Amino acid sequence: MLKKLLGLATIAAAMQTYAFSAAADTFVFTAIPDQDETQLIERFGAVESYLEEQLDVDVKYIPVKSYAAAVSAFRNNQVQLAWFGGLSGVQARRLVPGSEAIAQGEEDPEFQSYVIANTSTGLEPMDDLSDALEGMTFTFGSKGSTSGRLMPEFFLREAYGEAPDEVFSRVGFSGNHTRTVRLVEAGTYQLGAVNYKVWESGVEDGSIDTDKVQVIWKTPYYPDYQWTIRGDVDERFGEGFKDRVTQALLDMDDPELLQRFPRTGFIPATNEDYAPIEETAEALGLLN
């Protein structure tokens, strides 16, 4: 027992040190885990070095396991910048007064979700969601995803007049877009909703087998991903820091880096750009 108590004292002492050991002036960012982790680490590892070069401070990317973890880390000021989806960005900016959407992909103001189907369903591409989908199994992406959950759910409700779990025989949440594609391809679910960018880059690099899974419906356009920064970064990293970060993001022109997002480039964004997302999320009860 005595030894244990001794151990305890050491632990208490060690804990104290740990609480302060992370360098206070490292600029930390995260991103919603919307795709396979390997892809995220490659993409944001590259962003990390790019920003470090541009901003002349230590920059660190931390991977997280859920959309909510990304929002919480941002809210708790453990990260100061994040690549959010439409919904997670709105959640984060509501929770952190003064935070701002500063840049979005060129494609993001007109983003889309695709409804995809395993070819064994016999479904063909359609202009309006048909009754043939009813009673099938369906997977969203993450519960907190804009293109994998919020907007598809909104349009499904609009088309069928009831909640997805009334329309479909089984509704699941795959976790991310890569997994949605894989699950529908394997037939685990007959249908799925997926980020159109993830779909198209998967088709392009051959990782999606279009004999097994195909797009059957495309949603109308809506705004999605953006970089959001905390309002207090200037106090911490110096006057004009926020503008420098914004400029660095807008200046990103390395084709290889952009390809990893995949976006053709970045353009300015404002909080107001995401008002439609906020309204939809409120209507679905996903925001208080």
Partner 1 sequence: MIEGRTVMQGWANVPLSQSRTARTTLFFVVLALVCLAMADIAITTANPWQDLMRFFWGVMTPDFFSSAGLATALLRTLAFAFVGVTLGAAAGFLLALVYRFRLVRTFAAFIRAIHELFWALIFLQFFGFHPLTGVLAIAIPYAGIFAKVYSEILDEADPEPRNLLPSGVGALSAFVYARIPDCWEQLRTYTSYRLECGFRSSAILGFVGLPTLGFYLESAFSQGHYSEAGAVLILFYLLIATIPLWVRPRMLPFYIVAAPFFLGDGMPIMWGNVRRFFTEDIVPAPLREGSSNDFWPWLSDLVVNQALPGIWNTLLLTQMALVATGVIALLAFPLISRHFGNRVSRTGGHVLLVIARSTPEYILAYILLQLWGPSMLPAVVALALHNGGIIGHLIGRQSSTFNLRPDAPRGLMRYGYELVPRVYPSFLAFLFYRWEIIMRETAILGILGIYTLGFYVDSAIQNIQFDKAMILILVTALLNIGIDGLSRRIRRRLALQTMPTC
Comparing CB distances to partner 1, the nearer of 75 and 157 is 75
Residue with tokens 């590892």: 45
Nearer to partner 1, 36 or 234 (CB): 36
State the residues that interact with partner 1 by CB under 8 A. 1, 3-8, 10-11, 14-15, 18-22, 24, 28, 36-38, 62, 64-69, 71-73, 75-78, 91, 95, 118, 120, 137, 142-144, 170, 172-173, 175-176, 178-179, 182-183, 186-189, 286-288
Q: How far is the CB of 152 from partner 1 (least distance, A)?
A: 16
Q: If DSSP codes are grouped into helix, strand and coil, which group holds residue 205? A: coil
* Cα distances (angstroms) measured from residue 152 to each of 111, 131, 218, 219: 12, 16, 9, 7
Of 212 and 221, nearer to partner 1 (C-beta) is 212
Contact between 110 and 263 under an 8 Å Cβ cutoff? The reply is: no
Q: Which residues contact 8 (CB under 8 A, 6 or more apart)?
A: none
Phi/psi of residue 152, nearest 5 degrees: -60, -40
Beta carbon of residue 176, minimum distance to partner 1 (angstroms, whole number): 8
Minimum distance from residue 274 beta carbon to partner 1 (Å): 16
Min. distance of Cβ 29 from partner 1 in angstroms?
Answer: 12
Minimal distance, residue 237 CB to partner 1, in Å: 16
In angstroms, rounded to a whole number, what is the distance separating the alpha carbons of residues 226 and 267? 10
Between 174 and 246, CB nearer to partner 1:
174
Q: Which is nearer to partner 1, 183 or 269 (CB)?
A: 183
In whole angstroms, the minimum distance from the beta carbon of 287 to partner 1 comes to 8
Distance in Å, CB of 12 to partner 1, minimum = 9
Instruction: Decide whether 165 or 243 has the Cβ nearer to partner 1.
Output: 165
Give the C-alpha separation, 8 to 11, whole Å. Answer: 5
Q: Is 260 helix (H, G, I), strand (E, B) or coil?
A: coil
Integer Cα distance of 80 and 82 in angstroms: 7
Contact 93, 271 (CB under 8 A): yes
End-to-end CA distance of the chain: 50
DSSP secondary structure of 9-57: HHHHHHHHHHHHHS-TT-EEEEE---S-HHHHHHHHHHHHHHHHHHH-S
Query: Is the CB of 93 or the CB of 263 nearer to partner 1?
Result: 93
